[in-house]
Amino acid sequence: MKWPFSPFVPTPAAAPPLFVNASYTGKPADILAGRLRFIAELPSSSGYISRTALNGLFEVTTDRSNALQIRIDTSRTMQPLQITNSYPEMPNLGITWYDGLPEWTAISDKNATLCATSRDLQNKSTPVYYRGPTQINVWAYSPDGELKPSWLGQDYGPQSLETATYITGKGVVFIPNFARFSSAGRSGYSKGRLVLEPLAG
């Protein structure tokens, strides 16, 4: 099975943001910057989200110097992550669904992936077969540094997503129900979580 699978088988005064967008509204004390790290339940699958997306897909890398760097306003909930060292024309990091609308039933095996996008969502880093909907106001920051993704539907409130990586291809996916997803013929995934690692660390 290949990744991605297809229907046929992304103190001192605070420095100004590198790429300005409408989400950067917080006070300096509320703004945190760092590397985007993936901590997997399977330790060998842990690493950093790469700043160089392969064919438009962000993957997990062990090269810390190539880690995607982001900025977030911790005073807000359900917001974009601001990319600071890649994709200047698409500075927001959000989520795009593989195909069609997400489903929140216990039997859903739908998945989404990381996506760099412009504020108006007209330009996206994901390949064409990720033709489902995209959102950028999906991230919540918790005090332990975890970045928790959710999806906001038209007829319901935020729905939590679980994070995983494909062990061989290292691609990152977001899933409504990891147990169902991994049992539906997709056992080669490791569940994990995204964490903001401070740049000074």
Looking at per-residue pLDDT, the higher value among 5 and 110 belongs to 110
Question: Which comes out higher in pLDDT, residue 69 or 120?
Answer: 69
Dist CA 161 CA 18 (whole Å): 29
Give 69-119 pLDDT, tens digit per residue.
999 998 888 888 999 999 889 999 999 998 877 777 666 778 899 999 998
Convert the pLDDT of each residue in 22-48 to its tens digit.
Answer: 334 456 678 999 999 999 999 999 999
- Kindly report the pTM of this predicted structure: 0.80
The alpha helices in the chain, defined as continuous H runs, are 178-183
Distance CA 166, CA 107 (A): 20
Q: How high is the mean pLDDT of the chain?
A: 81
For residue 3, the 8-state DSSP code is S
Compute the residue count for the chain.
201
- Of 59, 64, 120, which Cα lies nearest the Cα of 89? 120
Q: Check residue 94 and give its pLDDT.
A: 94
